Copies of this chain bind each other. A is one copy, B any other.
Amino acid sequence: MPRTRPVQPAPTGPVRLGPDAHAALRPTAVAIDAGFWHARRETNARVSVPQGPGLLESAGNLHNLRLAAGTAEGEFQGAYPFVDTDVYKWLEAAAWQLGHRGDDSLAADVDRIIALVAAAQQPDGYLNTWFQLVKGGERYQDLRWGHELYCAGHLIQAAVAHHRATGRTELLDVARRFADHVDSVFGLPGSGRPIDGIDGHPEVETALVELYRETGERRYLDLAGYFVDRHGHGLLGGEAYCQDRVPVREATNVEGHAVRQLYLLAAAADLATETGDTELRAAGERLWHAMTTTKTHLTGGLGAHHDQEDFGDPYELPNERAYCETCAAIASVQWSWRLALLTGEARYSDLVERTLYNGFLAGVSLDGERWLYVNPLQVRDGHTDPGGDQSARRTRWFRCACCPPNVMRLLGSLEHYLASGDDDGLQIHQYVTGRYACGPIVVRAETDYPWHGTIALTVEETPADRPWTLSLRIPQWCREFRVRCGEETYDSPVDDGWLRLERTWAPGDRIVLELSLEPRLTGADPRVDAVRGCVAIERGPLVYCLEQVDHPGGGLDDIVLDTTRPLAVKHRPDLLGGVTTVVAAGRRRGIPDRGWWPYASADTTAAPEPDGETVEFTAVPYYAWANREDGSMRVWLPTS
């Protein structure tokens, strides 16, 4: 078919599948140009990303690179062996952004910082300022905690992003030198490589698959496979924390440090995609199902424990101590997206949507300047905040600053997680305002989602001579929807999450999808003890919460929702950058004085409570919490 202009941008985002990939779907970018995510990306591009270099300077990350290059003097700054990754993740964010948005000032910052990275690299390709400066160059002696390959992984991802987005090779050359060095050092006994080992923090695995995709060099893929499969064999002492208790292929549930687990599983999905390894694919599907059914918070947040940043037991999903590290939400999106492409199944993008709108987005303030590392589902009245990285109050930057640049890189590349194509047509996984393109197909979408449920689609370009299928994901949360093509209401059954509209399309064809956004009350599996007797308010993809600031005159620990009263929806353009609130009815309990002991006969506790005060509850989207004055917050609301 002749094309008047290139309609499909080069696959310039993360997860550019190799030519022989065994994936059901191939990602395609969306040109987002208005609406909810456009606004978030504008804040990312105008506030968060530009502030990066200054923060990396004041935190000492760039200083460390100069020290390693011998162009500055002083002490190493920072408390962790992985501080270089803050730089790499920022570079990756900036690179993705340069791929879709001209910005000379940003380009200059990127060039300057890439030069610092290149100068800090050692002649044989090794690069880690902590080990070069603090540990006297002693390499690979502490694989459990050293994070050297983790750092290599983020360097590689940044380099791939920079090359993919800009065509430039400066950083890619640095990354390849490091990757080649790693490849010369690590391998199975008998391989001629001196070390049979893995990194305590997976990350290099998925990065090496991307490097294979970018360079075509198979040995990077093989090295990734080696690392993935060496987890779980006790090379690091067999700890679940380090993903060393059980091999991925044998695991039955996610465990250990959440981000470590999820990065490793993203790599396993990458490998299954590129090699057709059905056992790894099955392991990924099995573990994803186990994770979602037993270890995922309503927000898509992952990780139940503060002390090891790890998954808890099945159905152990606490509220005030939900860990839900922002990085884990990002890693979950990365893994789920890979499974969505690999399998073609909509459920993976259901979780991506839930995570993006809730557990992920809560990690950055509305103004793009403050962050949450942990994302609890409850803050109690009288909360004593510990401060520091695990604070429930937004923080300008962290001692362990992994999350902020991770948010930046996901927002900077978000257009690559929204749509895919295959031989049959285009699949729309997430609804944004912009252009969805796939080969000769271009579809324009207009929507106020998630505030309104109408998505208006217009076919702008299409092959004239053959039918193709426009697949629309009907979200898992959606109980009612309607789709019209022109005058005709289309009631194709939903095929495992996909509404598939197959026809010979013509430019100008209009499809209107209407998803009902009736607010709803959601309960949990009864084994989730933490929320027994509670419901959460949801609307569309958004999880809602109550914040103290909207409920003066009392706290939130003693409230009761009246589930018999209707929920009212009220759009508030003045509030929190413009949100739709959900208004509910309830009361504060009258709690009898029990003296010094808060436990009493169940007969007593089951007795009618004294009358409490009636309250109108105003629920706001969870992602927007903690943007006003400090106070209590809760997602799950007691009903009796």
Contact string, A285-296, partner B, CB cutoff 8 A, digits 1/0? 000110011101
At the interface, yes or no: A360 with Cβ under 8 Å from chain B? no
Complex CA–CA separation, A381 to B313 (angstroms) = 8
- The one of B306, B313, B530 in contact with A307, judged by C-beta atoms closer than 8 angstroms, is B306
Q: A523 and B605: CB pair below 8 A?
A: yes
The 5 A-B pairs with the shortest beta carbon distances in the complex, nearest first, are A523-B605, A307-B307, A525-B598, A521-B602, A313-B380
Who on chain B is nearest to A603 by CB? Answer: B521
Who on chain B is nearest to A309 by CB? Answer: B307
At the interface, yes or no: A563 with Cβ under 8 Å from chain B? yes
CB-CB contacts below 8 Å: A516-537 with B? 520-530, 532-536
Residues on B with beta carbons closer than 8 Å to the beta carbon of A606: 523
**Given A315-B557, A318-B318, A321-B305, does the pair A605, B527 have CB atoms closer than 8 Å?**
no
Residues on B with beta carbons closer than 8 Å to the beta carbon of A383: 313
10 contacts across the A-B interface (CB closer than 8 A): A292-B597, A306-B307, A307-B307, A314-B381, A321-B321, A521-B603, A522-B600, A525-B594, A525-B598, A527-B558
CB-CB contacts below 8 Å: A564-604 with B? 589, 591, 594, 596-604
Q: A525 and B599: CB pair below 8 A?
A: yes
At the interface, yes or no: A369 with Cβ under 8 Å from chain B? no
Q: How far is the CB of A559 from chain B (nearest CB, A)?
A: 10
Who on chain B is nearest to A290 by CB? Answer: B596
User: Looking at chain A, what size class is its interface with the partner chain?
Assistant: 35 or more
Q: How far is the CB of A624 from chain B (nearest CB, A)?
A: 21
CB-CB contacts below 8 Å: A298-346 with B? 298, 305-308, 312-316, 318-321
Residues on B with beta carbons closer than 8 Å to the beta carbon of A601: 479, 520-523
At the interface, yes or no: A4 with Cβ under 8 Å from chain B? no
At the interface, yes or no: A638 with Cβ under 8 Å from chain B? yes
Complex CA–CA separation, A255 to B384 (angstroms) = 9
Residues of A near any B CB (own CB < 8 A):
240, 253, 255, 288-289, 292-294, 296, 298, 305-308, 312-316, 318-321, 347, 350, 378, 380-384, 386, 476, 479, 520-530, 532-536, 557-558, 563, 589, 591, 594, 596-606, 609, 636, 638-639
**Given A530-B529, A597-B292, does the pair A312, B316 have CB atoms closer than 8 Å?**
no
Complex CA–CA separation, A13 to B458 (angstroms) = 86
Who on chain B is nearest to A530 by CB? Answer: B530
- The one of B316, B523, B609 in contact with A599, judged by C-beta atoms closer than 8 angstroms, is B523
Complex CA–CA separation, A600 to B532 (angstroms) = 13
**Given A305-B321, A320-B313, A532-B533, does the pair A527, B596 have CB atoms closer than 8 Å?**
no
The CB with the most chain B CB atoms within 10 A, among A240, A255, A384, is that of A384
Complex CA–CA separation, A442 to B265 (angstroms) = 71
Taking A350-B597, A535-B602 as given, write out 12 further A-B residue pairs in contact, using a Cβ cutoff of 8 Å, ordered by the A residue number.
A288-B596, A298-B599, A313-B381, A315-B380, A315-B598, A347-B596, A520-B602, A521-B601, A523-B600, A523-B601, A523-B604, A536-B599
Residues on B with beta carbons closer than 8 Å to the beta carbon of A527: 557-558, 591
Q: A596 and B240: CB pair below 8 A?
A: no
**Given A316-B320, A321-B321, does the pair A591, B533 have CB atoms closer than 8 Å?**
no
Q: B558 and A599: CB pair below 8 A?
A: no
Complex CA–CA separation, A380 to B311 (angstroms) = 13
Who on chain B is nearest to A381 by CB? Answer: B314
Q: A524 and B320: CB pair below 8 A?
A: no
Residues on B with beta carbons closer than 8 Å to the beta carbon of A530: 529-530
Complex CA–CA separation, A602 to B479 (angstroms) = 13
Complex CA–CA separation, A286 to B558 (angstroms) = 22
Who on chain B is nearest to A538 by CB? Answer: B599
Residues on B with beta carbons closer than 8 Å to the beta carbon of A536: 599
**Given A523-B604, A526-B589, does the pair A638, B596 have CB atoms closer than 8 Å?**
no
Who on chain B is nearest to A347 by CB? Answer: B596
Residues on B with beta carbons closer than 8 Å to the beta carbon of A528: 598
Complex CA–CA separation, A374 to B333 (angstroms) = 35
Q: How far is the CB of A568 from chain B (nearest CB, A)?
A: 17
Residues on B with beta carbons closer than 8 Å to the beta carbon of A521: 601-603
Q: How far is the CB of A101 from chain B (nearest CB, A)?
A: 35
Residues on B with beta carbons closer than 8 Å to the beta carbon of A320: 312-313, 316, 529
Q: B597 and A476: CB pair below 8 A?
A: yes
Residues on B with beta carbons closer than 8 Å to the beta carbon of A476: 597
Residues on B with beta carbons closer than 8 Å to the beta carbon of A532: 532-534, 638
Complex CA–CA separation, A193 to B390 (angstroms) = 38
Q: A602 and B563: CB pair below 8 A?
A: yes
Who on chain B is nearest to A523 by CB? Answer: B605
Q: How far is the CB of A210 from chain B (nearest CB, A)?
A: 27
Complex CA–CA separation, A532 to B605 (angstroms) = 11
Who on chain B is nearest to A532 by CB? Answer: B533
**Given A533-B532, A598-B292, does the pair A526, B382 have CB atoms closer than 8 Å?**
no
Q: B596 and A289: CB pair below 8 A?
A: yes
Complex CA–CA separation, A298 to B378 (angstroms) = 22
**Given A380-B313, A557-B315, does the pair A293, B597 have CB atoms closer than 8 Å?**
yes
Complex CA–CA separation, A294 to B383 (angstroms) = 12
Who on chain B is nearest to A520 by CB? Answer: B601
Q: B598 and A293: CB pair below 8 A?
A: yes
